[in-house]
Structure 1
Amino acid sequence: MPIYEYQCTDCGVFEETAPMSAFADPCDCPACGQTAPRVMFSVPHISGMASATRRAHETNERSADSPKRSAHGPGCGCCGGGKKVSNKTLYRPDGSKSFPTKRPWMISH
């Protein structure tokens, strides 16, 4: 359960744990019993969390129906899928052609 802060008009600020469903409800002061409203004097204790816990909270806060966004467009070269097929024909400066990946002893008919 989270820790909430309340301010009593007579005794000052005090902290109490309460379920999240009762976050807006006032609480009785432990010293005098007077009803005190909830206040927010301190920020959530996020900087003291372990980085793995912080990442888990970030993941849980993201909407499940939001699509994952990519910085790359469709068919970009760095992600694969759009690989260019290499030409297997080697052209020499004199204009002749050779096929280095083919078997030279095979003659096509």
Structure 2
Amino acid sequence: MPTYEYQCDTCGIFDMLRRVDQRDARCSCPMCHKQARRVIASAPALSAMSGGSRAAHAANERAAHAPMSSGEYRAYKHPPGCGCCGSSAKATARAADGSKGFPTKRPWMISH
């Protein structure tokens, strides 16, 4: 359950651990037991996240308004389907009956 901040008119700001569906409802102050309203007094604690989680959140935020265009993929050392790494086998193998197989690809995938 997440922690939300509430402000009591008498005691000030305090944190309360509540379910998401109860976040906007008033709650009683732990000191004076008066009803307090929810406030956003501080920024979320994103610095407590791991570096990988922060990078994933940043990528999601970037993708929301500026997805990567096809021209930007050329900047990668190995663009999709380059074939420079891996085995020397061809990506597509044809059988005598004309059916295709992909020996270097994922064997569990069904070809179409």
TM bucket by the smaller chain?
0.5 to 0.7
- Is 1:40 the counterpart of 2:40? The answer is yes
Please tell me whether Structure 1 or Structure 2 has the larger radius of gyration of its CA atoms.
1
1:69 is displaced (CA, Å) by: 4.2
CA-atom RMSD in angstroms: 3.2
Q: Which has the higher helix share?
A: 2
**Counterpart of 1:70?**
69
Q: Residue 43 and residue 27 in structure 1: after superposition, are their counterparts in 2 closer, same or farther (change >3 A)?
A: same
Q: Residue 60 and residue 72 in structure 1: after superposition, are their counterparts in 2 closer, same or farther (change >3 A)?
A: closer
SS of residue in 1 equivalent to 2:46: coil
**Aligned ranges 1:1-109 → 2 under 5 Å:** 1-57=1-57, 69-72=68-71, 79=79
List runs of 5+ in structure 2 lacking aligned partners.
82-112
2:20 and 2:44 map into 1 onto residues whose CA distance is: 14
**Counterpart of 1:88?**
none
Amino acid at match of 1:15: D
User: Number of paired residues?
Assistant: 75
Identity between Structure 1 and Structure 2 (%): 38
List runs of 5+ in structure 1 lacking aligned partners.
82-109
Amino acid at match of 1:71: S
Normalised TM-score (structure 1): 0.52
Runs of 4+ in 1 over 6 A off after TM superposition: 59-63
Please give the per-residue CA displacement for 1:61-108, whole angstroms capped at 9, x wherever unaligned. 777xxxx743329xx8x8577xxxxxxxxxxxxxxxxxxxxxxxxxxx
Q: Residue 72 and residue 23 in structure 1: after superposition, are their counterparts in 2 closer, same or farther (change >3 A)?
A: same
